[in-house]
Amino acid sequence: MDFNYSEEQNLLADSVTKFIGNDYSYELRRKRTATADGFDRATWNTFAELGWLAVPFSEEDGGIGGGPIETMIVMEEFGKGLVVEPYVSSVILAGTALKVAGSAEQKAELIGGIIDGSRLLSLAYFEPQARFDLFDVNTSAKKDAQGNYVINGSKAMVLNGGTADTLIVSVRTGGGQRDESGITLLIVPANAAGVSVRSYPTLDGHRAAEVQFSNVSVPASARLGEEGKGLAVLQQVADTANLALCAEAVGMMEKLYKETVEYTKTRKQFGVAIAVFQALQHRMVDMFTLHAECKSLLLRAVMTAAVNDPEARRNISALKYAIATKGQKVAHEAVQIFGGMGMTDEMSVGMYLKRINVINTLFGNGDYHLQRFMAA
């Protein structure tokens, strides 16, 4: 058992920590979320130059050969900085789908484009009725006489769907709406005829989109992976996404308890810093403890996932359940202890709360994962 980072991992952690600490203020983030794209393309290019967009990809795909541990290192720091660039949607979600199921040509074109920052991809996996069931897919794709897929239906809450040049879409090519087989992944240009995208902000300052497909035609070569077997790919994407999102949440929890502690040392009431009140001290100790617990579960899940341990999926569910309960608790406590200031849009505390809540719902909430944990 070894809990130490390798030299390369230490270097990666240092570079992300420095960037977030020096060049990614909350003020800047607020300006970025107010732009049309909802993020900063120059910063995205910086991420590419620093090699962060290459982190989870193998060396033969042009990446740095990182895995769950390296992704955790990046995401924990991104959490602290509330990074709003489309890392999760493009690198983690679309990137994992391509990594798992892509052909050599698809990988060369699209993973290459993700890594150098020239392409932005989104994964359109969710439909309004599906809640957390990745297999609940109504959007259909039927083959026409030329062998093209013709897509009809709508996808919801497509993360960064408004800025994506390419969508990876889960469609039904066989079976009924809730069958586990018969799901296929298709790569669709966002500007293809019949695709309409309605982008909107989400409460965490990120962007999502409702996407409609009306007789959208793509060639058979647009298929990602085997026909009808897309669910297994989506499940791997969901596991990877949950690890990344939980790492982000753990980074936020650390920032929340530390900022709360610092705030109470400066905020005076009754003539003293409120840090001296035992009622508040014990609540902050609880925040510290909740963070330590989630960090431990994160390491447990990441370290088992890194070696494909059969327990990994169960560990991920334990982690997600813990983030949903303990993560939210830490954010609520921070808002409470910051008092009126915690209620303002100006302070980052409230934004951490909102982002944690979004993370909790993406790819299964606490109850969903507690049930999956129990069933495993």
**Spatial separation of the C-alpha atoms in residues 58 and 276, rounded to whole Å:** 51
Q: Considering the complex, what minimum distance in angstroms separates the CB of residue 3 from another protein?
A: 5
Of 201-209, 228-236, 356-364, 367-375, which part binds another protein (CB under 8 A)? 367-375
42: contact with another protein by CB under 8 A: no
Q: Which is nearer to another protein, 3 or 104 (CB)?
A: 3
Gap between the Cα atoms of 336 and 283, Å rounded: 10
Regarding 24 and contact with another protein (CB under 8 A), the answer is no
Residue 349 contacts residue 334 (beta carbons within 8 Å) = yes
Binding mask 60-79 for another protein (x = CB under 8 A): ---------x----------
Integer Cα distance of 260 and 266 in angstroms: 10
Q: Could you give the CA distance from residue 315 to residue 304 in angstroms, rounded to a whole number?
A: 8
Angstrom distances, CA of residue 122 to CA of 65, 85, 355: 22, 13, 19
Contact of 16 with 73, CB cutoff 8 Å: yes
**How many residues at the interface with another protein, by CB under 8 A?**
41
Sole window of 28-36, 52-60, 75-83, 305-313 interacting with another protein (rule: CB under 8 A)? 305-313
Q: Which is nearer to another protein, 209 or 302 (CB)?
A: 302
Tokens 């889960």 locate to 170
The smaller minimum CB distance to another protein, of residues 350 and 366, is found at 366
Backbone dihedral region for residue 153 (phi beyond 0: left; psi -120 to 50: alpha; all else: beta): left
Q: How far apart are CA 315 and CA 305, in angstroms?
A: 9
What are the CA-CA distances from residue 92 to residues 98, 214, 322 (Å)? 10, 27, 21
Is position 266 an interface residue for another protein (rule: CB under 8 A)?
no
Q: Kindly tell me which residue out of 267, 300, 332, 354 binds another protein, with binding defined by CB under 8 A.
A: 300
Q: Which residue, 69 or 216, is less far from another protein as judged by CB?
A: 69
How far are the Cα atoms of 223, 245, 306 from residue 339, in angstroms, in the given order?
A: 52, 27, 41
The Cα–Cα gap between 76 and 49 comes to: 20
- Shortest gap between Cβ of 152 and another protein (angstroms)? 38
Residue 322 found at the interface with another protein (CB under 8 A): yes
- Among the listed ranges 12-20, 44-52, 170-178, 314-322, the one in contact with another protein (CB under 8 A) is 314-322
Q: Residue 268 is encoded by which pair of tokens?
A: 């005076």
Which of the 8 DSSP states describes residue 5? P
Q: How far is the CB of 16 from another protein (least distance, A)?
A: 17
Judged by CB under 8 A, the residue of 10, 296, 336, 344 near another protein is 296
Residue 309 lies near another protein (rule: CB under 8 A): yes
Closer to another protein by Cβ: residue 276 or 343? 276
Segment interacting with another protein, rule: CB under 8 A, options 126-134, 145-153, 260-268, 331-339: 260-268
- The correct pick among 13, 48, 292, 341 for binding another protein (CB under 8 A) is 292
Contact between 360 and another protein (CB under 8 A)?
A: no
Report the nearest approach of another protein to the CB of residue 317 (Å): 9
Q: Shortest Cβ distance from residue 10 to another protein (Å)?
A: 11
Query: Cα(first)–Cα(last) distance of the chain, in Å?
Result: 24
Q: Per CB under 8 A, does 132 bind another protein?
A: no
265: which 2 tokens? 């040392």
Closer of 188 and 253 to another protein (Cβ): 253
What is the H or E stretch that residue 153 is in?
Answer: strand 149-159
Contact present, 121 and 91 (Cβ < 8 Å): no
13 is an interface residue for another protein by CB under 8 A:
no
Residue span 214-253 as binding mask against another protein, x where in contact by CB under 8 A, dash where not: ----------------------------------------
Please tell me the distance from the alpha carbon of residue 249 to that of residue 358, in angstroms, as a whole number.
10
* 3-state secondary structure at position 248: helix
Residue carrying the six token digits 């897509």: 151
For 262-298, give one letter per residue: b (16+ CB within 10 A) or e.
Answer: ebbeebeeeeeebbeeeebeebbeebbebbeebbebb
Residues found near another protein in the complex (CB under 8 A) = 1-6, 9, 69, 261, 264-265, 275-276, 278, 281-282, 284-286, 288-289, 292-294, 296-297, 299-300, 302-304, 306-307, 309, 315, 318, 321-322, 370, 373-374
